[in-house]
Amino acid sequence: MFKEKNQVLFWKHWGSLIDTTKSGPRYLPTELEIWLTISKNKNLFCFDKSFIYLLRGKPVAGVFLPIEKQDKNKTISVAGGYVIAPMTQDKSVEEKIFKAIDNIAAEHKVGKIMFGIDPLDNNRYNYLQKYNYLDTSMLSYVFDLTKENLLDSCRRNHKRNIKKIRDNKDFTVFYIDNNSPSYEIHEEYRTLHHKCSGRITRSKDTFDAQYEKLKKGKAVLFGLNFKQKNVAFLYFDYNADKAVSVSAADDPDYDSLPLYHILYYMGMEYLKKAGVCYIDTGNPSSPSPQFDYYPDNKQKNIALFKRGFGGEYWPYFRGIKYFSREAFKKDMSDFINNFEISKYE
């Protein structure tokens, strides 16, 4: 059953699958719609072939399947990146699902398909390889909230910086969630996001959609106030026992201060009380370049910073299936041009 035929019924089935599979926040409808909006704003979007697979009238799998145009090739991707892998309740239909995806790709002359498996699904292997996807996996760093003392699980320098801000009366940590929403504060976050980036990275309607997700109890926004001025924000999405650190913004005028240590720590404490066990910190997390992942020094430093909190690496399985030699050659050329060759010291 395709989304384009009946969106109301599609989302009803999709919600049922999220509840049954206890999927993480990357599968939330608002999150998927935000990505579609970004795709449209970048003039990449062609159409949406998302579908629900029904078995004896009951939904057993859901596939988010946007089709974009990059250069001369159509791709199954979102905003130029990886699409969240199919959500499957019944593994017996997995082969049929991927066959249906291939048929859709062939019908629309798609050059490549890009899927990423949610790290929080905790799969033991990259099952995309069974369906002839080229492995492009990397690592994600995941905070473990099942530890008894979250502060003690942090690196010594992180603990020092957390206490430094916590014990300084010039600083106040606050948050907004579904019990204490504030559009005014959310707009401050949006404005600071643009200032931090040095440009408008995405449209206002995507931030408004984030706020709607927050009001539904699927997100929380933490903020840091310094001398009566909000200087940093950190956003988390969550569902079931899983959370993702999705966005951060700070005022560059205060970047000499350790702004994020306390925000991550307070976010961990909040989410632990909400029943969350693990937080995927998202990209950048992987410490080194891989195929289709070429972090700069700033991104490597962010990845290093995340490792100061209690957690460990989990596999972020990804895969690309090529149908176009031209698309394959382009990605291989990018790999050759961007991958760093190790040097002997």
In tens, the pLDDT along 271-321 reads 999 999 999 999 999 999 999 999 999 999 999 999 999 999 999 999 999
Q: What is the pLDDT of residue 142?
A: 98
Res 61 pLDDT > 90: yes
pLDDT digits (tens, 9 = 90+) for 125-138: 999 999 999 999 99
Which amino acid does the sequence have at 323? Answer: F
User: What is the pLDDT, as a whole number, of residue 344?
Assistant: 77
pLDDT tops 80 at residue 89:
yes
What is the Cα–Cα distance from 169 to 56, expressed in whole angstroms? 61
Q: Is the pLDDT of residue 3 over 70?
A: yes
Q: Which of 122, 142, 121 is nearest to 271 (CA)?
A: 142
CA distance 41 to 127: 32
pLDDT reported for residue 315: 97
Q: What is the pTM of this model?
A: 0.95
Say which residue the tokens 């062939």 belong to: 106
Question: Residue ranges of the alpha helices (H) in 175-311?
Answer: 183-197, 204-215, 260-273, 297-306
Fold of the 142-314 domain: Aminopeptidase (3.40.630)
Q: What integer pLDDT is reported at residue 345 of this predicted model?
A: 59
Mean pLDDT for the chain overall? 96
pLDDT at 19 (0 to 100): 96
Looking at the chain, the whole-number percentage of residues with pLDDT higher than 90 is: 94
pLDDT in tens, 31-47: 999 999 999 999 999 99
List the domain boundaries for the chain: 7-137+317-338, 142-314
pLDDT score of 71:
81
The two beta strands, 171-176 and 219-226, are antiparallel
pLDDT exceeds cutoff 90 at 81: yes
> CATH classification of 7-137+317-338 is 3.40.630.30, yes or no?
yes
| pLDDT (average), residues 48-67 | 97
How big is the CA angle at 249 (ends 42 and 312), to the nearest 5 degrees?
95
Query: Which three-class secondary structure state does DSSP give residue 78?
Result: strand
Domains 7-137+317-338 and 142-314 share a fold: yes
| pLDDT for 100 beyond 90 | yes
Average pLDDT over residues 189-197: 93
pLDDT in tens, 166-179: 999 999 999 999 99
